[in-house]
A and B are shown apart, each in its own frame.
Chain A
Amino acid sequence: MVLGNLMKILNGEILLNKKYGENLYKMEIFSPYICKNALPGQFVNIKCCYEGMLDPLLRRPFGIYEIDKRFNVFTILYLIKGKGTLFLSKLKKGEILNFIGPLGNAIKIVTGAENYLLVGGGIGVAPLCLIARYLTDLQKNVYFMAGFKDELFFSWENDLIKIVRNYRIFTENGSFGEKGLPTNFIREHIDQYKKFNFICCGPREMLKALQDILQGKNIAAIALMEEMMACGIGVCMGCVIKIKEGNNAFTYKRVCSDGPAFNLMEVIFD
């Protein structure tokens, strides 16, 4: 079994719930347990209604964005999408958040790999930030590329600056960073990244484009995947994605307990 014995039901005080952009928020949560045990790539499953309430019914998964071991605080970066995230955005400093974690598997770092290209699309940048921090601490060479629709993530750049020196930001409308898509840039400059390990997270179209670019190039690539979840701990079989297995065959793997990180080249997008 992949899951460790570490996941727990936890309650943590909210220390900050700050608006970063129109519907983009960052929340800081006090949790010595998560700070001690969580690793990059893992997520927490958060109850998004008050105790005794039924709506929304299921917990919502969020990647861990930052861990500050000095103050026992971890953060999530989230976008308001629907009622669960709307509920989160209304919570105030001092309120208690109920969550289960750490969940999923930590990202695996292969020994010998020194150069990493992290590619994030939209809110997909969130889990990549913790990974970037971790790799930087390991003295790896980290290059961060982020793509957004518009300038919503403008103030997020202040967080990124603190983690990596080398980065490039793209927006589709050119309102923030360079105009265009990171995938187009990568396609044009792929020769520069032959010695890089890719780690990516973002919309399906972005991941699909990257898979296409990397086809046959013999470049290692990890994708952090997303799927609708019910349990988050590997029991309901609800969050599966299609993964290549052998020649022309496939199997289903659970994003929550087999992932969220998968070999990008083995993911079947159909």
Chain B
Amino acid sequence: MTENISESAPDLSINLGRIKLKNPVITCSGTFASGIEYNQFYNISNLGAVTTKSFSLNKRLGNSPPRLCETAGGMLNAIGLANEGIYYFINEQLPVLKNLQVSIILSIFGEDNNEFLRIAKEVNSIKDDIVAVEMNLSCPNVDKGGIAFCSMPDHVESLINSVREILDIPLIAKLSPNNDNFIETAAKARNGGAEAISLVNTVIGTAIDIDNFKPKLGNIFGGLSGPAIKPIALAKVMQLARENILPIIGMGGIFYWQDAVEFMIAGASAVGIGTLNFVEVDAGEKILEGISNYLLEKNINNLGEIIGKVFKKW
């Protein structure tokens, strides 16, 4: 009986370059901390991977409040990449996560190339404990007047290349939907040595308080996430998938398992659950179950059969 079930259970495992995951459900950076809190709600080691909050070298306080604002079908955040610094991750959180046997994608960012490289050096000592490093390239590059790293494709190539020289584990480039040249950036990221692309980060947005005429966010502008951005994110993922550059972790507004399946049909090999974690704290588990049931019902044995299928139907 048990054998029958396992025979009929669809194969949910996926590969993103050298990254091998037992299933495609990943949590998005910044929406899951390092996962430890969520393990109180479900066993987070059942996830394909947990992507951590983006870590800088040293602790960062982040933006002044208010940092949040809800909008129709979404939310704006201007956290300002507040985090405890990479040493906190290595010394305090990693031991707990290892114990829980979680597949970890470590998200990192720097204000300039130098900070990225210094973090990479630190991460080298723990590289066997994590499955990949995701480079958050949507953050501002202080050396270049604060414009996002990912808006400069050539720069991205050389940055990833130099991180790779220090750190030999799979690298994921996380790109923003706010730059039109994201396909070129993805191609350069591949040339630099990235093995997968995470798409999308939040969409730039704002909101204004009509009583006091001021922006609702302390930082004025923020990043929009949640269902409101799903069609945008899905289109970007599809546009990138069509170019066949690198495997994609698709994210942006996934709230139901059906959304996750849509992203995969559009060409994503894995999916990121973000804002939903705030609302349904056991979302990762639920989305995974939904995808699995969908495959069973459709008699699909392996995820490869649906990834990018939209292109075969055109």
Q: Does B30 contact A (CB under 8 A)?
A: yes
> CB distance B66 to A227 under 8 Å?
yes
* Binary contact readout A208-252 vs B (1 if CB under 8 angstroms, 0 otherwise): 000000000000000000011111111111111110000000011
Determine whether the beta carbon of B66 is less than 8 Å from that of A57.
no
Q: In the complex, what distance in Å separates the CA atom of A74 from the CA atom of B53?
A: 35
Contact B282 A57 (CB under 8 A): no
Those of B258-311 within 8 Å (CB) of chain A: 275, 277-279, 281-282
Nearest CB in chain B: distance from A107 CB, A = 22
* B44 smallest CB distance to A (angstroms): 12
Which residue of chain B has its CB nearest to the CB of A84?
Answer: B70
Distance between Cα atoms of A236 and B30 in the complex (Å)? 6
* Interface contact B70-A56, CB-CB below 8 Å: yes
Cβ of A110 under 8 Å from chain B: no
Is there a chain B Cβ closer than 8 Å to A139's Cβ? no
Interface pair A238/B279, CB less than 8 Å apart: no
Q: How far is the CA of A54 from the CA of B281 in the complex (A)?
A: 15
Contact A234/B37 with A252-B61, A252-B62, A252-B65 known, Cβ cut-off 8 Å:
yes
- Considering only residues 68-84 of chain B, those with a C-beta below 8 Å from chain A are 68-70, 72-75, 77, 79, 82-83
A9 with B282: CB separation less than 8 A: yes
Map CB proximity to B onto A62-83 as digits: 1 under 8 Å, 0 otherwise: 0000000000000000000000
Whether B67 lies near A234 (C-beta < 8 A) is no
Chain A residues near B40 (CB-CB < 8 A): 3, 5, 7-8
List the B residue with the shortest CB-CB distance to A251: B61
The total of interchain contacts (Cβ-Cβ below 8 angstroms) comes to: 92
In the assembled complex, the CB of B287 is this many whole angstroms from the nearest CB of chain A, namely: 14
Residue of B nearest to A270 (CB): B64
Known: A231-B278, A233-B281, A235-B37. A54 touches B255 (CB 8 A): yes
Q: Is the CB of A230 within 8 A of B227?
A: no
- How many angstroms between the C-alpha atoms of A217 and B181 in the bound complex? 60
B226 at the interface (CB under 8 A from A): yes
A152 to B123, CA, bound (A): 58
Q: Does residue A26 face the partner (Cβ distance < 8 Å to B)?
A: no
Contact between A252 and B74 (Cβ–Cβ < 8 Å)? no
Q: How far is the CB of A57 from chain B (nearest CB, A)?
A: 6
Alpha-carbon distance A169/B278, docked complex (angstroms): 38
- Give Cα A228 to B209, complex, Å: 14
- Tell me the smallest distance from the CB of B292 to a CB of chain A, in Å: 20
* B148 shortest CB reach to chain A, Å: 20
The residue on A at minimum CB distance from B92 is A1
Please tell me if B31 contacts chain A, counting CB pairs below 8 Å: yes
Bound Cα distance from A239 to B63, whole angstroms = 11
Contacts of A235 in B (CB 8 A): 31-33, 37-38, 53, 277-278
Band of interface residues on B: 35 or more
Residues of A within 8 A of B226 (CB): 57
Interface membership of chain A positions 2-44, coded 1 if the CB is closer than 8 angstroms to chain B and 0 otherwise: 0101011100000000000000000000000000000000000
Q: Give the Cβ gap from B203 to chain A, nearest Cβ, in Å.
A: 15
Give the distance to chain A from B312, nearest Cβ to Cβ, in Å.
31
Tell me, yes or no, whether B21 is within 8 Å of chain A by CB: no
0/1 interface trace, chain B 37-71, chain A, CB 8 Å (1 if under): 11011000000000001000000011011111110
Residues of B with C-beta under 8 A to A233: 37, 281
- In the complex, A233 Cα to B39 Cα: how many Å? 12
B77 near A238: Cβ-Cβ < 8 Å: yes
Contacts of B83 in A (CB 8 A): 237
A8 vs B72: C-alpha distance in the bound complex, in angstroms?
A: 27
Q: B65–A57 contact, CB under 8 A?
A: no
The docked-state distance in angstroms from the alpha carbon of A228 to that of B84 is 22
Q: Are A237 and B281 in contact (CB under 8 A)?
A: no
Take A58-B75, A58-B278, A231-B278 as given contacts and tell me if A241 and B65 are in contact as well, using a CB distance cutoff of 8 Å.
yes
B245 within 8 A of A: no
B36 near A: Cβ within 8 Å? yes
Q: A9-B282, A251-B61 are in contact. List 10 more A-B contacts (CB 8 A).
A: A1-B37, A54-B227, A58-B75, A58-B279, A229-B68, A230-B77, A237-B62, A238-B68, A238-B77, A239-B68
11 A-B pairs within 8 Å (CB atoms) are namely A8-B41, A9-B282, A233-B281, A234-B33, A235-B277, A236-B278, A240-B65, A242-B64, A251-B61, A252-B62, A252-B65
